[in-house]
Amino acid sequence: MNNVVKSVKGTRDFYPEDMALRTWLYEHMRHVSESFGYQEWEAPILETFELYAAKSGEELVEKQSYVFEDRGGDKITLRPELTPSLARLVAARQNQLTYPLRWWSFGPFWRYERPQKGRSREFFQWNIDMIGERSPAGDAELAAIAATFLKRVGLKPTEAQILVNNRRLMDSQLAALEIGAGLRTDVIRLIDRRDKLSAEKWEAYAEDIGLSNPQIDGVKQLLGDETLWEKSDELPAFFKAVDAYGVSDFIKFAPHIIRGLDYYTGTVMEAWDTAGDFRALFGGGRYDDLVSAVGGQPVSAVGFAVGDVVISLLLEQLGRLPEFGNTTAEVFITIFNEETQAGTLALSQELRAAGLKVATYPYADKLGKQFKYADRIGANIVVVLGPDEIIKGEVSVKDMLSGDQQNIARPDTAKHIAKILESRNAS
């Protein structure tokens, strides 16, 4: 086993149980997205280097992304995020689309990270965006979607919170502190690092970027003012809409939430576990200039992205993940002997046609061995079609949970099994 080839560092293998978790998350993301009227879309895994350089600058893309030249000499990037691709798609058909767009996607991304708990180089991510709507109500809709998802996967407001701020609000407050426009990008990054550095290192960083002591004190006061949102032109309407959605217990104002990326222009949000055991569960906000950065006309947009890694770790820690069985088959059919095999396979197709998920043993073997296999893979029902059952026109059906076993008329088999499964799901 020491010679087994290892996977690429920072990537993950998805065994069936891991894939079941990923699918479970995807299904919840799909349900929430569609319940708010969002359409699924997708973009290529490979994008041009220029697409990301237009948003983040060449140096940042080179450091964080997997960049290479293809055989034609073109500079290609494994996508590190989806928002630039979204902007590109909108720009390409800008005059043909009906606004506001409500789009969502779930797929793989790659970033050159230092692998650690909650951070990998390959990850899957849910992206959901509204394009063409500038109002605080649009921001509130995305926050409500985020809160609805947290609630749907079993999280409580005491366990996870969506923290919200507004870049325009903070920009006006920084201007009031006489922090010039040329310095504000650095101050945004300073605020973004408030919880990532010690107080001493944070203040030293503030001095290094050129803030005076009164300005540093002013920024500190801003970060401690939980009523600052009342001075915003947008956040009062935002929180009123959030309250109407009935999700205000999941959402609160936090002046230190600022989001480090330059393209955010208004309301920003991040979700965190309240215990502080993990990195941010997800983040996003309003970005009104990105479509124009890739060649389109200016259009307003707001969205967020949820990676699969951290949310899975939190749900696992809290015991909120369901038990994923070893099989998706609800019904397992044994092969009694070679003479009955053809009839058994025909029966399996009848049950599938009735909407049941069915697996069969690949060949005739001892029934005890086949029952043991069915138990190990977590099958709910085991069916036997032996010579005696064939003569009587019956099928033997065993409920693996209760141990009850009955002979059922073959035409009634599917209905009988469905009834067992229905009663189990109801309980």
Are 2 and 130 found together in one domain? yes
Are 22 and 118 found together in one domain? yes
- Bridge-partner residues for 268, per DSSP? 165, 285
Q: Among 297, 324, 351, identify where a domain stops.
A: 324
Residues 309, 324: Cα–Cα separation, whole Å: 17
Token couple for 60: 């940042």
Count the domains in the chain.
2
Write the pLDDT tens digit of every residue in 55-82. 666 656 778 889 999 999 999 999 999 9
Residue 222 within a domain: no
Residue 186 within a domain: no
Residues 356, 418: Cα–Cα separation, whole Å: 8
Write the pLDDT tens digit of every residue in 88-128. 999 999 999 999 999 999 999 999 888 777 778 999 999 99
Write the pLDDT tens digit of every residue in 355-408. 999 999 999 999 999 999 999 999 999 999 999 999 999 999 999 999 999 999
Instruction: Determine contact, residues 285/269, Cβ cutoff 8 Å.
Output: yes
Are 297 and 417 found together in one domain? no
Residue 95 within a domain: yes
Give start and end residues of each alpha helix (H) in 159-212: 167-176, 181-192, 199-208
Map residue 333 onto helix, strand or coil.
Answer: strand
Are 297 and 357 found together in one domain? no
Instruction: Determine contact, residues 161/56, Cβ cutoff 8 Å.
Output: no
Q: Among 324, 343, 369, identify where a domain stops.
A: 324
Are 124 and 83 found together in one domain? yes
Helices (H) and strands (E) in the chain, counts: 16, 16
Are 3 and 130 found together in one domain? yes
Q: Among 300, 324, 348, identify where a domain stops.
A: 324
Question: Which residues constitute the domain of residue 42?
Answer: 1-134+288-324
Residue 185 within a domain: no
Nearest to 311 by CA among 267, 280, 288: 280
Residue 7 within a domain: yes
Are 354 and 402 found together in one domain? yes
Are 299 and 338 found together in one domain? no
Are 118 and 26 found together in one domain? yes
Residue with tokens 């599938």: 352
Is the alpha carbon torsion for 354, 360, 366, 370 positive or negative?
negative
Write the pLDDT tens digit of every residue in 251-262. 999 999 988 667
Kindly report the number of other CB atoms within 10 A of residue 57's CB atom.
11
Q: What is the CATH number of the domain that holds 29?
A: 3.30.930.10
Are 107 and 20 found together in one domain? yes
Residues 138, 147: Cα–Cα separation, whole Å: 14
